[in-house]
Chain A
Amino acid sequence: MRITHRKLALRAAAAAALLAGYADLARGGLTAAPLLLVLGYLVLVPLVLLAD
C-alpha cells in the first residue's frame, strides 16, 4: 500500500486535531477543545480511514 503525501497529511491533521483537542480539554478549554475533537473524530479520522 502506497502512502501518499495526501494520506500522510490527513493522518497528521487527524492526530494533531485530537491531541491538541485533548490538551486544551485538560487545560480546561471549552471552545477550541470541542471544536478540534469533533473535527478530528467526525471529519478527519473518517477521511483517513476512507483514504487508507
Chain B
Amino acid sequence: MTAPTLPPEARPQYAAALLTALLVLALYAATLAPTTAMWDASEYITAAYTLGLPHPPGNPLFVLLGRVASLVPVGTVAVRVNLLAALCSAFSAGIWFLVADRVLVRLVDDRRARAAAALTAALLSATAFTVWNQSVVNEKVYTVSLAFFAAVSWLTVLWCDDPDGRRADRLLVLVAYLIGLGYTNHPAGLLVGPAVATAVLVRRPRTLLRWRLLIAGALVFALGLTPFALEPIRAAHHPAINEGEVTGCTGSIGWSCTFSETTRTRLLDNINRKQYGKPDLSVRQAPFGAQLGMWWLYFKWQWLRDSHDDAPASQAVLAVLFLVLGIAGGIAHWRLDRPSFWFFGPLVCTVTIALVYYMNFKYGASQSPGLAGVEREVRDRDYFYLWSYSAWSVWAAVGLAAAWQGLARRAGTAAVPRWVMTAPVLLIGAIPLAGNWRDASRAGETATREWAHDLLNSVEPYGILVTMGDNDTFPLWYAQEVEGVRRDVTAAVTSLLGTDWYIRGLVRRPISPYDAARGPAAYRATTWPKPTRPLLSLSTAQLDAIPDYADLREPQIFQAGSLRAVVDPRRLEFGVPLRSDLLVLQLLKENLGTRPLYVARMSGSYTQALGLEPYALLQGLAYRISSAPLRASADTVAIPGVGFLDVPRTRALWSAYGAPSAIVRRGDWVDRPSVGIAAAYVSVGLTLSDALAARGLAAESAAVQRSAVEVASATRTLEWFTGSVAPR
C-alpha cells in the first residue's frame, strides 16, 4: 500500500487541539468531585497519597502519578487526584481532535470547518457518560489508560503517514515503550497492541522482519515494565494500603528478603491477579449474547444517561442514532484514510467485541432487571468499556461530519459558505453534554466523605469495626489515612480477611491515639485509655496457619467471657465458617472488654449469622457487640427487625451526622448498587424517630423522621420503607 498524498493544509492543528483539551479540562473542573466518592475512588486516592499498593495488579504507574498529583498545592488531596483523571481525559480529547482532523483531511478542505468537526469528536468523546463520569473523580485508573491509548494512537497515525521516514523507527520504538509503560498502569494497556501490529502489518509488513528494530522494541517494552519494581520496594515499607503485600520482608526492607522467592512469587501472583481466581474464558459467566447486551446497555447510557428511566424512548433513539453515526464514521474512515483505519478499526474491535469476550462478565447489575435467578456483577461495569465508547465517539463524529458535508453539498448558493450554513447539524454532537450533565457531574458530591466520618464516629475510641465490602471500607481508609480522621479505629473488612496479607497488616498497624477534640461530643465525658495489647496475640505463623474454612456442619457454641453465641453454619453465607469468620471471632475473643468490637450497620445480618444478635446494640451506624446478653430498658429499646437500639447514643450521633444533609443537597445517589448506604441512614433515622416518639419527644422525633424521609426521597428509596413512616 502506498502512502496517500496529503495536501499541504493537512498539517496537524496542534494549537486547536490544545485549546480543545483546555476546554474539556474546564468542563471537567466545573463538574469535578470536591472529595472522594463511592466504590474504588477512596482506595485509589489513599493509595496515591500514601504511595501504597491498591488491589492487584497494584497499578504502580498510577500510584506514582497519583502521588505526584497529590503533591500539587491545589485544593484538597482528593481534588488533586481527581484532577489527574480530568487531565488525562482532557489530553485524550485533544488527541482525538487530532485523529478526527487527520481522518477528515480528504473530506473537509477548509481547516476551520475541519476543526469544527474535530472539536465535535473531542467533545462527544469527552461527554460520553462513562468517560465524563470517570473523569471528574479518580475512581479507577482507566482515564490514565485512555491517555496512553490516545498517545499511542496519534504516534501510530504519524507512523502510518510516513512509515519509511526518518522518524518512523523512533515512533514505533516509542509506541512499544508506551505500551509497556501503560501495562504498569493497568493490563488494559496491552489492548492497543493488536491495533498497532495490524497497522504495521498492513502498512509496511517488512517492518516486522527487521530484527534490530524488533529487539529495540522488545527492550524498551521491557523498560516500560520496570515500574513494577515499585511494588516490592514500597510493600517492604508496609504503607497503610499494602494490598497483596508483595514482599518477603517482614521487618524493614533488605536485599535478601527483597530478592527472595517469596517476593517473586507474591509479585507475580499480584500482577497476574491470582487473588481473584477468574474462571477460564471457555467457562462463560453469562451467555456471550448477554455480555454483548451489557455493552449495549451501557452504550445507551453514553448519549443520555437517564439514570431513573425517565426517558427510555429518547435514550433508545439516541443510542440508535449514535450507533448508526459510528458505523457511518467507520465506513467514512475506511474510505478517507485507509492507513489510519487499519489502526483505529482494530482498536475499536479490540476494546469492544474482544474486550466483551475477555472480561467474561456475569449479567450487569442493571441489566434485564426482570430476569431472576442469574448471577450478577455487584455493580455496573460500564467503566471497563470507557475506551470503547471514547473511540466510538470519534467515529460517530466522523459520521456526523460526513453527513454534514453531504448536506453542505446540497445546500443552495448563499452569501455565507455552505459549510457554515449547515454547521448547526454538528450540534448533535453536543447532545451528551446537555443530556449527561445531571448524572455525570460530581460537583458538590460530598456524601461519601461524610459517610466515612459518620461511620467512624459511630465507633467508640479504639474500637474494631467489622465491615463487609468496598463501600463501607474504602471511604474509611480515605478518612483515616488522607484526612487523619479517627485513626484510632481499626477497620477489619471480611472480604479481605480471607487473605493472608491483610490480617498481617492489621496486626502490624500501630495504634493511633484518640483525638478527643476532633471526635464526637458523645465520647467527651469519658476517658479512653489507649490499648496496650496488640489486636491479636497470634504470631504471624499462627495467623498464616488459620485454614480457609472450618469444616463445621453442626451448630457450635462460641464463648468469650460471659458471651455465648451459637454459631450455626447454616446461617453463614457459604454453609461453613470461613477464615474471615474465624478471625472475627478471634478478634472478639481477644478484645472483648478491652476494645469494643462493632459490626457496620450495612453488615447487620452478619451479627445474626454469627449468632451474636442477643449481644448486638445498634449505636448509630454500627452494632456494638456487648459482653453480656442485652435486656430492654429505658435507653435500650428492642425493635423488631433491627435488634436493640441504644437511644441516647444514636440520638447524639444522629445530630452530628453530615451525610443526610449532603445527600439531600445533592438530591440523588450515585448508583443503585450502593444505595443501601443511603438506606441505612433512613433506617436508623426512622428507628430513632420511633424510639423518640415512644419517649414523648414528639418534636425531635418528627425532625429526625423528616430528615430520614428527605434522604429516602432524594435517593428514591422511600418505597422500601412503606409502613415504617408513622404520622408525626
Residues in A whose Cβ lies below 8 Å from that of B476: none
The verdict on A49 contacting B220 (CB below 8 Å), with A22-B229, A30-B51 known, is yes
Residues of B within 8 A of A46 (CB): 174, 177-178
A37 x B170 contact (CB < 8 A):
no
Q: Which of B62-70, B118-126, B308-316, B491-499 contacts A (4 or more CB under 8 A)?
A: B62-70
B residues in contact with A37, CB < 8 Å: 64, 227, 230
CB proximity of B484 to chain A, nearest CB, Å:
16
A34 to B234, CA, bound (A): 11
Does B47 belong to the interface (CB within 8 Å)?
Answer: no
Most interface-central of B61, B64, B174, B220 (chain A CB within 10 A):
B64
Check B55 for interface membership: any CB of A closer than 8 A.
no
Identify which of residues 22-40 in chain A touch chain B, using a CB-to-CB cut-off of 8 Å: 22, 25-26, 28, 30-31, 33-35, 37-38
CB distance from B52 to the nearest CB of A (A): 10
Nearest residue (CB) in B for A21 is B64
User: A50 to B233, Cβ gap below 8 A?
Assistant: no
Which of B26-72 touch A at CB < 8 Å? 51, 61, 64-65, 67-68, 71
B234 in contact with A50 (CB, 8 Å): no
Which residues of B are found within 8 Å of A41, using beta-carbon distances? Answer: 61, 64, 181, 224, 227
0 or 1 for each of B201-224: is its CB under 8 Å from A? (1 = yes): 000000000000000000010011
Report B280 CB to chain A, min CB distance, Å. 34
Does B589 reach chain A (CB closer than 8 Å)? no
Cβ 8 A contact of A25, one of B174, B220, B223, B230: B230
Count of B interface residues, CB-CB < 8 Å: 25
Q: Which of B68, B178, B220 contacts A34 (CB 8 A)?
A: B68
Residues in A with CB closer than 8 Å to B174 are 46, 49-50
B430 within 8 A of A: no
A22 near B68 with CB under 8 A, answer no
Would you call A10 an interface residue if the criterion is a C-beta within 8 Å of the partner chain's C-beta atoms? no
B599 within 8 A of A: no
B237 neighbours in A (Cβ, 8 Å): 28
Contact B51 A34 (CB under 8 A): yes
Q: With the chains together, A34 CA to B227 CA distance in Å?
A: 11
Task: Give Cα distance in the complex from A31 to B227, angstroms.
Answer: 16
- Chain B residues contacting A38 (CB-CB under 8 Å) are 64-65, 68
Q: Which of B225-240 contact A (CB under 8 A)?
A: 226-227, 229-230, 233-234, 237
A37 to B237, CA, bound (A): 18
Interchain CB contact (< 8 A) of A52 among B61, B170, B178, B181: B170
Residues of B contacting A31 in the complex (Cβ-Cβ under 8 angstroms): 71
Q: A13 on the interface (CB 8 Å rule)?
A: no
A26–B233 touching, CB < 8 Å: yes
Q: Closest approach, in angstroms, between the C-beta of A21 and any C-beta of chain B? A: 9
A45, CB-defined interface residue at 8 Å? yes
CB distance from B258 to the nearest CB of A (A): 8
For residue B173, which residues in chain A have a CB less than 8 angstroms away from its CB?
49, 52
Q: How far is the CB of A28 from chain B (nearest CB, A)?
A: 5
Are A50 and B181 in touch, CB under 8 angstroms? no
* A5-16 interface bits toward B, Cβ cutoff 8 Å, 1 = contact, 0 = none: 000000000000
Point out the residues of chain A lying under 8 angstroms from B230, CB to CB: 25, 37
Question: Nearest-CB distance from A46 to chain B (Å)?
Answer: 6
Bound form: Cα–Cα A42–B51 in Å: 18
Whether the pair B233, A45 counts as a contact (CB closer than 8 A) is: no
Shortest distance from the beta carbon of A17 to any chain B beta carbon, whole Å: 12
Is B18 close to A, CB under 8 A? no
- B582: Cβ under 8 A from any A Cβ: no
B253 at interface (Cβ–Cβ under 8 A)? Answer: yes
A52 to B177 CA separation, bound complex (whole angstroms) = 14
List B contacts of A26 (CB < 8 A). 233, 253
Within 8 A of A (CB), among B101-155: none
CA distance A16 to B167 in the complex (A): 26
Q: Find the B residue at minimum CB distance from A37.
A: B64
Query: A49: which B residues are within 8 A, CB to CB?
Result: 170, 173-174, 177, 220
In whole angstroms, how far apart are the Cα atoms of A33 and B60 in the complex? 13
User: Which of B71, B181, B223, B253 has a CB less than 8 Å from the CB of A35?
Assistant: B71
Given known pairs A26-B253, A37-B64, the reply for A45 and B229 (CB within 8 Å) is: no
Query: Which residues on the B side are within 8 Å of A28 (C-beta)?
Result: 237, 253
A25-B170 in contact (CB<8A): no
User: Complex Cα distance A45/B178, Å?
Assistant: 10
Contacts of B71 in A (CB 8 A): 31, 34-35
CB distance from B259 to the nearest CB of A (A): 12
Contacts of A34 in B (CB 8 A): 51, 64, 67-68, 71
Chain B residue contacts of A42, Cβ below 8 A: 65, 181
**Taking beta carbons and an 8 Å cutoff, which residues of B are in contact with A?**
51, 61, 64-65, 67-68, 71, 167, 170, 173-174, 177-178, 181, 220, 223-224, 226-227, 229-230, 233-234, 237, 253
List, sorted by A's number, 7 A–B pairs whose CB atoms are closer than 8 Å: A26-B233, A28-B237, A28-B253, A37-B227, A37-B230, A45-B223, A50-B167
Binding site for B on A (CB under 8 A): 18, 22, 25-26, 28, 30-31, 33-35, 37-38, 41-42, 45-46, 49-52
List of 6 A-B pairs having minimum Cβ-Cβ separation, nearest first? A34-B67, A49-B174, A34-B64, A38-B68, A34-B68, A25-B233
**Could you list 12 further interchain pairs (A-B, Cβ under 8 angstroms) beyond the known A37-B64, A45-B223?**
A25-B230, A25-B234, A34-B67, A34-B68, A35-B68, A35-B71, A41-B64, A42-B65, A42-B181, A49-B173, A50-B170, A50-B174
